[in-house]
Structure 1
Amino acid sequence: MYPSPSKTFLAAVAVALTLSSAVEAVPASASSSGKPVYPGAKGLKYFFSFGDSYTQTGFNLTDGSPMPSSGNPLGNPVYPGWTSANGPNWIDYLTVEFNKTETLTYNMAYGGATIDAALVAPYRPEVFSLKDQVQTFFPLASGHAANWKASNSLFLVWIGINDIGGSYWAHPDDVDGFQSGLMDVYFGLVDELYSAGARNFLFLDVPPIQRAPLTVESSAEAVALETRAVNSYNALLSSRVSALKKAHTDVWSKIVSTTKVFNNIMDRPAKYGFENATGWCEEYSNGTPEWDTQYSECGPAVDKYVWLNNLHPTHLVHKEVAKAAAKVL
């Protein structure tokens, strides 16, 4: 099973979303000049975020829970939501702490998601893929966010961790070819968002998950294979983002290097306040009562660990990702 889920992660996966069928998004006003309409961080009023357990908060569009609004920018559930970080994750921090103005966040990320379940099966069949998030969730979110438009919204995507984790060992002789197929679907979905009116995009690359305990504790061969897959994926992501901007001159798009963030933390953990950058404690792995809970059998407090469990980082790692994203914005 990939990933190895925590209790908070499983809770989010279990959120019941009954969706009858996909609906068309209401097109937002777009640039007529052919130039980007990115307003700067202070001009952003809406975030539409997509991804997997590194991004999910358990946001529910269909059960009558509060939608994002002034004073409650993430809507539901209560902040920080159901995350895999044992506290706020990066989209929480970006919305609440590193925002330049109040921004309403519609977070459609779903724990365990892959780009397309037909290409890389998720760990459970009911998991909603990036394709589901874009084609089914986003039209619903767009309907709720009645005042969004190209010039006041940002589309944020962090996907690929489960795609690589679920496939890196299966295509050792054609990594680039397989990853290219993933990117075809990925950026086909980005094109669908563009057609719906999206013009501003923030992509996050895949962090060095080959350094996570899940892979390190497996074998040196697994580390080598996954390293190659991560590097291939991130190189292709960079080239596709460049191609997106060439194809659409009215697109503003950047990549946040979570690779750099994670490597900096793991190479110099003490600089960032961490005491354990390589291991994890089973007593912490399913979540703890407080963000800084300390159990004697684990040594350091949970937020002094880089890894909550064998794949998911703790909330202070997410805080550094949010800082990097805010800097890019």
Structure 2
Amino acid sequence: MDTKSRRPPKHILLAFCAIIALFYLFRIRPRHQTFAQVNSIVDCCEATHDKPEGLGQAGHSWAGWQTVENMFIFGDSYSDTGFDVVGEQPSEEKPMGNSPFYWEHTGPRWPMLLTETYNDSAIKTYCFATSGASVDKTIDNNVVPPDFVEQVERIFIPSFVKDNSEESSWKPETSLFVVFFGINDNRLLEMMPGSRTSETQRRMLERYSDMLQTLYDNGARNIMIVNVPPMGRSPSGTNKISRFIATWNQALSEMAITTTRMLRGAKILEFDAFDFFNRGLDDPTVYQQTSHIKITDDRCAAYDEEWKRAVEIDAFDEDCGIALKDYFWWDALHPTPSVQDALAEQIAEYLRHGKVANTANATSVTHKSHRQSGHRFED
């Protein structure tokens, strides 16, 4: 008899692998399982199961940007819109709730523009991002609240999950959760003794993964994580932070894959902010909104104070010689409003088509290694 005829059918092998994987994941998986451990569990199925397809690292079909009705955003100053959870809530008339569309600090941020300018549907956005926030301040000793953990556990869950009012109701299938952390985490790593940085970053990323699980446990099914921009190219950039960010971003990509495998029915998207920023820094004309920018590798100190008070985007200071809007960087860390505008449009394009700012890891690594050798960086 032909030996091939005695082999179990392919669908039986797949079912067997799935049973083994589920047993390990749900019966003996420790709470803080590493990415490598998760990968070893699912490797048995790699030979007979195609890798995930879709946007970013999504393992399930993405229903589309046009289906989104609610956005919940977690992050730091790059995403902070000044939203107060106890104030006026988002509505059809005011999609950002009590967040002003033109925020007095630096104009509209990308969440505002994504919600009201580059949207394909009527969206209500709840932005919990807070300037200075990191993933878990108990790990990095950050004094700025609330961190990612608190934004989820003390703001989102009590206010928008389970026994809440009809006004705050939302559906998992039409809601998008956006997570944009890592800038402050990796800056804080710069201040730590070298012997502690690797272990501390591992714990930060582990906590990040835990919070994705918590969001999933509380209804999140469409989650977009945003990796860290090339802060080594900011006016305050160093080779050290570039190295930290390279490790961080690689771990996020792996996290997206393992999280997709572990969370049934979840759509994990990954927007490549690192690549988006590099493109604009290399050539501002690549984005229509930044095509007028003249200086990408520095900022003018005279405009630093403008970050802290109301200012017109066309602000001009004689000591700087050119208008604020003609700089890529507003201060040592933050981009000008034109960059925020381009970022919002590119995120929308990514959510529509999955083709923008979503390059392969090899391309991103090339960018990173190329930038780290620049003369502006100091350890």
On whether the aligned pair clears a TM of 0.5, the verdict is yes
Shift of 1:302: 0.9
Correspondence for 1:66 among 76, 82, 88: 88
Q: 1:204 to 1:305 in 2, by over 3 A?
A: same
Correspondence for 2:253 among 235, 238, 242: 238
Correspondence for 1:137 among 150, 155, 160: 155
Residue 274 of structure 1 is matched in structure 2 by 293
Shift of 1:172: 3.7
Shift of 1:261: 1.1
Shift of 1:315: 1.2
Q: 1:256 to 1:183 in 2, by over 3 A?
A: same
Shift of 1:180: 2.1
Tell me how many residue pairs correspond in the alignment.
282
Structure with bigger helix share is 2
Correspondence for 1:262 among 271, 277, 287: 277
SS across alignment from 1:119: helix
CA contact (8 A) 1:169 1:226 kept: no
Shift of 1:38: 4.2
Aligned equivalents of 2:129 and 2:253: distance in 1?
21
Q: Deviations over 1:75-105 (max 9, x none)?
A: 113213355xx11111111111111011000
CA contact (8 A) 1:37 1:150 kept: no
Q: 1:268 to 1:147 in 2, by over 3 A?
A: same
Aligned equivalents of 1:327 and 1:175: distance in 2?
36
Amino acid at match of 1:129: D
TM-score by length of 2: 0.70
> How well do the aligned residues superpose, as a CA RMSD in angstroms?
1.9
TM-score by length of 1: 0.81
Residue 47 of structure 1 is matched in structure 2 by 71
Q: Deviations over 1:181-202 (max 9, x none)?
A: 1111011011111011100001
CA contact (8 A) 1:114 1:129 kept: yes
Aligned equivalents of 1:154 and 1:77: distance in 2?
18
Aligned equivalents of 2:118 and 2:251: distance in 1?
29
Correspondence for 1:224 among 235, 239, 253: 239
Q: 1:179-190 to 2 correspondence within 5 Å? A: 179-190=201-212
Q: 1:301-312 to 2 correspondence within 5 Å? A: 301-312=323-334
Q: Return 5+ residue gaps in structure 2 as ranges.
A: 1-58, 352-379
Q: Report the identity percentage.
A: 28
SS across alignment from 2:341: helix
Aligned: 1:294 with 2:316: yes
CA contact (8 A) 1:37 1:199 kept: no
Highest RCO, 1 vs 2 (Cα 8 Å, sep ≥ 6): 1
Aligned equivalents of 1:309 and 1:49: distance in 2?
24
SS across alignment from 2:312: coil
CA contact (8 A) 1:175 1:232 kept: no
Amino acid at match of 2:75: G
Range with greater deviation from structure 2 (228-237 or 254-263): 254-263
Aligned equivalents of 2:232 and 2:269: distance in 1?
24
Q: Deviations over 1:46-74 (max 9, x none)?
A: 00000000101111012xx3110002100
Aligned equivalents of 2:88 and 2:111: distance in 1?
18
Q: 1:64-213 to 2 correspondence within 5 Å? A: 65-81=87-103, 83=105, 86-122=106-142, 125-142=143-160, 143=164, 146-170=168-192, 172=194, 175-213=197-235
Aligned equivalents of 1:36 and 1:150: distance in 2?
14
CA contact (8 A) 1:210 1:226 kept: yes
Q: Return 5+ residue gaps in structure 1 as ranges.
A: 1-34, 216-222
Aligned equivalents of 1:174 and 1:127: distance in 2?
23
Shift of 1:177: 3.7
CA contact (8 A) 2:91 2:97 kept: yes
Shift of 1:285: 1.6
Aligned equivalents of 1:81 and 1:242: distance in 2?
36
Structure exhibiting the larger radius of gyration computed from Cα positions? 2
Shift of 1:175: 4.8
